[in-house]
Amino acid sequence: MPGTVVIGSQFGDEGKGKVTDFYSDKADLVVRYHGGNNAGHTVVAHGVTYKFHLLPSGIVHGKRILIGAGVVLDPRVLKKELSELKGKTDIGIDPRTHIIMPWHNLLDAGREESRQKIKIGTTKRGIGPCYADKAERIGIRFEDLVDEQRLNEKIDEVYPIKKAILEKVYEIKVPFSKEEVFQEYSALGKEFKNYLQDVSLEVSDALHAKKNVLFEGAQGTFLDNDFGTYPFVTSSHPVSGGVAIGVGMAVNRIERIIGIVKAYTTRVGFGPFPTEQENSVGDYLVENGKEFGTTTGRKRRVGWLDLPMMRTSMRFNGFTEIAITKLDVLSGLEKVKVAKSYKVGDKKIEFFPYSNKGIENCEPVYEEFESFKITGKEKKYSDLPETARKYLEYIEEEIKAPITLISVGPGREETILK
């Protein structure tokens, strides 16, 4: 698998954690390269459920894990996730990784509250404000966190600005002093100092030595800061190009790009969703698929699989293969539908419009399939009912990438390789 990246093809929560865990047994390194603890990745192995927000899912297999420069890292969350693993950790963190400071969470909440018309429905984990500081060049990086003097200088410079904005613009009283922040974060820096590692270099050396490196994407393609449904997006780059920038490596080091496609669509937070089903089908999918957010517990919005979205996702990501997840959740429905195109007036379109205005006018045109029953016990492709195979083969043909994995349940063993 030398350089393999796992990408969310939709709006996130496609099952990236499960697929990353599945392929981690053959990996030498498992790497997160963008986003932060806005992610919620679930792994179910040997009957135990693990939920990760920051650490790569490869940790369940005991692999060495790396956090690349493109991630935004909340050290409080790192401490919590590491303590839950009781020391079973071999981890490296890039010095260039930006740090989520406590003011970022407050700013995220303040900004969201103050939005009049357009609310995003962020996870309030401080992700947007931290990436904004990085772009504005006032961010605090991991190399600063682990160096007391630099951390002190940085906090000295940034704290008064953030306090003024929080109090004067958002009318939020800042519940911590500059000194308290320094005390807590310098202690965290001391604790994590040994993890400092040039991730770009380690990954490059590993790939040259023909080792297997698995890159675990977070969020999903249509939450991409440039190519998603802006402004209803996150602040990083979930598309496959994000891996090169997020790690510090050449684009051509990636050999496999696995698109994770949920057999239907879900979305958490606001923003366009052409195939959304706010009806009994939607209720069924929420209940059968346990569609509640891993990070915020919010009920996910649900709808049918959307091929104009998938063709566009293919264009943005260049999937070399597809992993279909949650096929079992469609069991028990009367009919299974998939949007094959959109109708705009009397025009047919086959791609996802670039603007939300355009999406508003799109009416999905559906293809219907006979329903099927999946038990989770299927081991081979041929064990799947013919009606389910028809559905999969249709998707494969329309996206124009081979389906190589089919997930029929949350557990590691509920996985079929094709």
> Do 295 and 40 contact (CB within 8 A), yes or no?
yes
How many Cα atoms occupy the beta-carbon half-sphere of 132 within 13 Å? 13
The answer for residues whose C-beta is within 8 angstroms of residue 352's C-beta and 6 or more apart is 222, 306, 308, 309, 311, 312, 359
6 or 314: CB nearest ligand GDP: 6
CA distance 382 to 403: 14
CA distance 318 to 257: 7
Query: Is residue 6 near ligand GDP by the rule CB under 6 A?
Result: no
Region binding ligand GDP by CB under 6 A among candidate stretches 105-113, 189-197, 320-328, 384-392 = 320-328
CA distance 75 to 54: 10
Q: Which entry of ligand IMO, Mg ion, ligand GDP, none binds 308, CB below 5 to 8 A by partner kind?
A: none
Residue 46: left if φ>0, alpha if ψ -120 to 50, beta else—which one? left
Helix (H, G, I), strand (E, B) or coil at 282: helix
Q: Which entry of ligand IMO, ligand GDP, Mg ion, none binds 409, CB below 5 to 8 A by partner kind?
A: ligand GDP
CA-closest candidate to residue 42, choices 262, 339, 281, 351: 262
CB of residue 294 vs ligand IMO: minimum separation in angstroms? 6
Rounded to whole angstroms, the maximal C-alpha distance in the chain is 65
- Which residue is catalytic, options 21, 28, 34, 41? 41
Query: Is residue 42 near ligand GDP by the rule CB under 6 A?
Result: yes
CB of residue 16 vs Mg ion: minimum separation in angstroms? 7
> What 3 state SS string does 124-151 have?
CCCHHHHHHHHHHCCCCEHHHHCCHHHH
Query: Is residue 265 near ligand GDP by the rule CB under 6 A?
Result: no
Please identify which residue in 4, 24, 27, 41 interacts with ligand GDP, judged by CB under 6 A. 41
CB of residue 266 vs ligand IMO: minimum separation in angstroms? 8
96 or 300: CB nearest Mg ion: 300
Query: Is residue 40 near Mg ion by the rule CB under 5 A?
Result: yes
CB of residue 319 vs ligand IMO: minimum separation in angstroms? 17
39 or 155: CB nearest ligand GDP: 39
Q: Which entry of Mg ion, ligand GDP, ligand IMO, none binds 128, CB below 5 to 8 A by partner kind?
A: ligand IMO
> Torsion angle of alpha carbons 28, 409, 84, 62, nearest 10°?
-20
Residues 289-318 within binding reach of ligand GDP (CB under 6 A): 294
Which residue bears the tokens 């393999």?
A: 4
> Do 242 and 227 contact (CB within 8 A), yes or no?
no
Please identify which residue in 64, 98, 154, 326 interacts with ligand GDP, judged by CB under 6 A. 326
Please give the backbone phi and psi of residue 143, each rounded to the nearest 5 degrees, phi first. -60, -30
Q: What angle do CA 40, 238, 341 make, to 5 degrees?
A: 105
Q: Which helix (H) or strand (E) holds 93?
A: strand 91-93
38 or 212: CB nearest ligand IMO: 38
41 is catalytic: yes
Binding mask 327-366 vs ligand GDP (x if CB under 6 A, - otherwise)?
A: -xx-------------------------------------
CB of residue 372 vs ligand IMO: minimum separation in angstroms? 26
> Do 210 and 2 contact (CB within 8 A), yes or no?
yes
Query: Is residue 58 near ligand GDP by the rule CB under 6 A?
Result: no
Query: Is residue 294 near Mg ion by the rule CB under 5 A?
Result: yes
- Amino acid identity at 172: I
CA-closest candidate to residue 10, choices 365, 297, 326, 377: 326
Q: Which entry of ligand GDP, Mg ion, ligand IMO, none binds 125, CB below 5 to 8 A by partner kind?
A: ligand IMO
CA distance 284 to 277: 10
Region binding ligand GDP by CB under 6 A among candidate stretches 15-23, 181-189, 330-338, 388-396 = 15-23
CB of residue 128 vs ligand IMO: minimum separation in angstroms? 5
CA-closest candidate to residue 400, choices 312, 304, 341, 328: 312
Residues 232-261 within binding reach of Mg ion (CB under 5 A): none
CB of residue 385 vs ligand IMO: minimum separation in angstroms? 29
Query: Is residue 272 near ligand GDP by the rule CB under 6 A?
Result: no
Burial of 203 (C-beta count, 10 Å sphere; 0-12/13-18/19+): buried
Residues that bind ligand GDP (CB under 6 A): 8, 12-18, 40-42, 44, 294, 325-326, 328-329, 407-410
Mind telling me the catalytic residues? 13, 41
Residues that bind Mg ion (CB under 5 A): 13, 40, 294
